[in-house]
Chains A and B, each alone.
Chain A
Amino acid sequence: MASSGAAPGARDRRQARHHADPDRRRLTRLGLLGLPALAFVAVFLLYPLALLIETSFHSKAGDWSLEQYARIATTPVYGLVLWKTAWVAGLVTLIDFVVGYPFAVALTRARGAWRLVLLAAVLMPFWTNLLVRTYGWIVVLHPNGLLNTLLIRLGLITEPIELVQNTTGVLIGMTQIMLPYMVLPIAAQIEKMDRRLLQAARSLGASATRTFWHVYFPLTLPGVFAGALVTLVLSLGFFVIPALLGGRRDVLIAQLIDFNLTKVLNWEFAAALGTLLLMVTMGLFLAAQRWFRLDSLWTEAS
C-alpha cells in the first residue's frame, strides 16, 4: 500500500498487517477450540504420566538417581527385548498393510449386502473380547486344531505345523487384531477420493496400472500413514497376545513392565522401562513425520 514510489516502509507494513489481522484473529480463535481436548488429556493422562516419569528417576530408597536407567543400559536382556518388540511391531504393521490395503479397496468397491459383510468382518474382532479371541486362535492353530487338521485332510501337509506358542502365533494374533485399525482409515480416505482425477488420468491415456500407482495410490497415502502409525504404535504396547500365543523367545517389553509393576512391585524400574518405551515410540513418530511427510495429515487444508 505504498503511497509513493519508494519501497514499503514500516508504516506500510503495519498497515498491511492490520488488514490481515481479522483473518488471523479468526483463525486463532478457531485454534482455541483445541484447548478443551488438550486440557482433558493434560489433566487425566499427561499429569499422571509426568508423575510416573518422575518416579523413574528415583532409586528404591527414594532419592534422586539414574540407577534404573543404568540397570537397563547395562543388562543386555532389556536391549534385546526392546529390539524384539520393535521388530514384531514393525512386521505386524507391514503384514497389515499388505493384507489391509487390498481389503480396504475391496471394501469401498463392494455394494449392498457385500459391503455390510465386509464391514462386519472388519468390526467383528472388536466385538469379541481380546482374551476370548486369543483362545479362539489357540483352538484354530494348535497342532490338533482346526487349521492343521484341515491341511492334513487336504493332503497339503503330513505333519502338523507349529503355528502357535511361537512368534508365528504372535504375528497371526496381532495382525488380526490390528487389521481394522489399518483398514478403516484407508477406506475412509478412498471414499473421499475425487474419482474425476482417476477418470482424467484414464482419458489422458494412462493404463489402469499406471493410474493406480501414480494417481490412486498417492491419494490414499494419508490414510495409509494414519493406519500404519496407529498399528505400529499400538503393537509396541501389546502383552496379552505375546503372553498367550508366544513361545519361549517371545518376551516383549510390555510383559516386563507388567511384571515389575504388578509382581515384584518395583515401580521405579517399571517407570523407567515405561518411559523408555514412550521415548522409543515418540522417536518412531518423529521419524515417520520426517521421512513420510506425515504432517500432511495435520497441515491446514489449502
Chain B
Amino acid sequence: MRRSSGQAALASFAGLVCLFLVLPSLIVVPMSFNADNLLRFPPQGFSLTWYQTYFGQEDWQSATWNSLEIALSVTALATALGTVAALALIRGRIALRSLYIYLMLTPMIVPPIVSAVSMYGVFAQFKLVGTLPGMVLAHTVLALPFVIINVAAVLQRMDWRVEQAARSLGASALQAFFLVTLPLIRPGLIVAAIFAFITSFDEVVVALYISGSRAVTLPVQMWSGLRFEINPVVAAVSSLLLGLSVASLLAIGLLRRVATGERGTST
C-alpha cells in the first residue's frame, strides 16, 4: 500500500513538473493565431497571417534552413570529437588530466556574451564570420563539453570487461569499439547528440555575432523580431517548432521500439 501511494505521489509530482516545463511554450501557441500585431493572451480574433508570413518570407525560410544545416553538422562533428575525447579521458592516459578537463569544459563555463565577442575578432580574421562553416565551428566548440560529459558518464559506468573479452577473442581495437562498446553506450551517445543538436539549434548569443548577415539562424531572426517591437511571427515559428519536436519524439520512440524488438533487450 505504501508503495503504490508513493508511486501515485511521484506520478502526480511528475505531472506537475511537466506542466511547469511546458506551460510557457504551450501558451505561445494560441498567441500565434492572434489577429493583430501584438502578443496577446487570450488572443483576439483568429488569423493565420503569421504562419503565412513565416512560410512566405525569404528571410524566415533561409534562416530555418541555415539553422538545420548548422545544427546537424554540429551534431555530427561534436559527437564524433567528443566521444573520442571522452574515450581518451576515461580509458587512456592523459598527461595533466585535470587541466585537460578544465580546458575542455571552458566553452560551457564562459558566459555566452564573452565567448561571442572574443570569438568574433578571431573568426573575422579567419574570414569565418557570416559563413555556415564558421557557425558550425563556433557551435561545435560550444557543444563539445556537453557531449564529453554525457559520454564520459556513460563510459564510466560501462563494464569494460565486455570489451576486453572481445579483444581477447581476437577482435581488433576498432572492431571491439564499434561492435561492442558503441552499442552499449548508445543511450549516452544519443543523449549527447541531442544536447549537441539543441545547443546549436537554440543558440542565440554567439550566433548573433558569428552569423553576420549571410548565415542568419532562426534564433537570431527571432531575436530581432522581439527587440524593437513584438512580431507575432515569432509565436508562429515557436508553435511550429513545438509541433516538430513532438513529432520527432514520436518518431524516435517508434524507431527505438523497432530496434528494441529486434534485439530483444531493453534500451
**A–B interface present (Cβ within 8 A):** yes
On A, residues with C-beta under 8 Å from B are 24, 27-38, 40-42, 44-49, 51-52, 99, 102-103, 105-107, 109-110, 115-137, 139-140, 145-146, 176, 179, 184-185, 188-189, 191-193, 208, 222-223, 226, 230, 233-234, 236-237, 239, 253-254, 257-258, 261, 267, 270, 274, 277-278, 281-282, 285, 289, 295-301
Give complex CA distance A250, B111 in Å: 17
Give complex CA distance A246, B148 in Å: 33
Given contacts A42-B103, A44-B122, A188 and B154 within 8 Å (CB-CB): yes
Residue B153 lies at the interface, judged by CB distance under 8 Å to chain A = yes
Given contacts A52-B117, A127-B25, A41 and B144 within 8 Å (CB-CB): yes
What is the minimal beta-carbon distance from A102 to any residue of chain B, in angstroms?
Answer: 6
Residue B98 lies at the interface, judged by CB distance under 8 Å to chain A = yes
Would you call A37 and B148 a contact (CB within 8 A)?
yes
What is the minimal beta-carbon distance from B180 to any residue of chain A, in angstroms?
Answer: 14
Give complex CA distance A189, B157 in Å: 8
Given contacts A34-B85, A37-B85, A188 and B191 within 8 Å (CB-CB): yes
B interface majority secondary structure: helix
What is the minimal beta-carbon distance from A186 to any residue of chain B, in angstroms?
Answer: 10
Would you call A139 and B41 a contact (CB within 8 A)?
yes
Would you call A119 and B249 a contact (CB within 8 A)?
yes
Residue B241 lies at the interface, judged by CB distance under 8 Å to chain A = yes
Give complex CA distance A267, B249 in Å: 43
The contact sample of 27 A-B pairs, CB cut-off 8 A, is: A27-B93, A36-B85, A37-B85, A40-B140, A45-B110, A45-B118, A49-B114, A49-B118, A103-B13, A110-B14, A116-B249, A118-B18, A119-B249, A123-B194, A128-B25, A129-B218, A129-B222, A129-B234, A132-B222, A133-B24, A188-B154, A191-B187, A237-B110, A239-B111, A277-B114, A300-B91, A301-B156
Give complex CA distance A132, B25 in Å: 8
Would you call B84 and A48 a contact (CB within 8 A)?
no
Residue B70 lies at the interface, judged by CB distance under 8 Å to chain A = no
Given contacts A49-B106, A300-B90, A274 and B111 within 8 Å (CB-CB): yes
Would you call B82 and A37 a contact (CB within 8 A)?
yes
Return the CB mask of B1-22 against A: 1 if under 8 Å, else 0: 0110000001101100110111
Give complex CA distance A118, B119 in Å: 37
Would you call A285 and B109 a contact (CB within 8 A)?
yes
Give complex CA distance A282, B102 in Å: 8
B32: nearest residue on chain A (CB-CB)? Answer: A132
Tally chain B residues at the interface, Cβ within 8 Å.
102
What is the minimal beta-carbon distance from B232 to any residue of chain A, in angstroms?
Answer: 10
Would you call B91 and A36 a contact (CB within 8 A)?
no
B219: chain A residues at CB < 8 Å are 129-130
Given contacts A116-B250, A133-B24, A185 and B119 within 8 Å (CB-CB): no
B149: nearest residue on chain A (CB-CB)? Answer: A226
Residue B107 lies at the interface, judged by CB distance under 8 Å to chain A = yes
Given contacts A125-B25, A127-B244, A105 and B111 within 8 Å (CB-CB): no
Would you call A298 and B97 a contact (CB within 8 A)?
yes
Would you call A48 and B91 a contact (CB within 8 A)?
no
Residue B150 lies at the interface, judged by CB distance under 8 Å to chain A = yes
Would you call A301 and B108 a contact (CB within 8 A)?
no
Would you call B156 and A222 a contact (CB within 8 A)?
yes
9 closest cross-chain pairs (CB), A and B: A136-B24, A30-B92, A237-B111, A34-B88, A31-B92, A48-B118, A106-B14, A37-B85, A127-B245
- Name the residue in A47, A51, A129, A131 with the highest tally of chain B Cβ atoms < 10 Å from its Cβ: A129
Would you call B10 and A239 a contact (CB within 8 A)?
no
B215: chain A residues at CB < 8 Å are none
Residue B76 lies at the interface, judged by CB distance under 8 Å to chain A = no
Would you call A36 and B84 a contact (CB within 8 A)?
yes
Contacts A31-B92, A45-B141 supplied; 12 other A-B pairs, CB < 8 Å: A32-B92, A34-B88, A34-B100, A37-B84, A37-B148, A51-B118, A131-B223, A188-B187, A234-B108, A261-B113, A285-B109, A301-B155
Give complex CA distance A35, B152 in Å: 16
- Name the residue in B97, B100, B109, B245 with the highest tally of chain A Cβ atoms < 10 Å from its Cβ: B109
Give complex CA distance A234, B112 in Å: 9
Give complex CA distance A105, B10 in Å: 9
Would you call B187 and A47 a contact (CB within 8 A)?
no
Would you call B157 and A192 a contact (CB within 8 A)?
yes
Residue B68 lies at the interface, judged by CB distance under 8 Å to chain A = no
Give complex CA distance A302, B92 in Å: 12
Would you call A33 and B85 a contact (CB within 8 A)?
yes
Would you call B110 and A49 a contact (CB within 8 A)?
yes
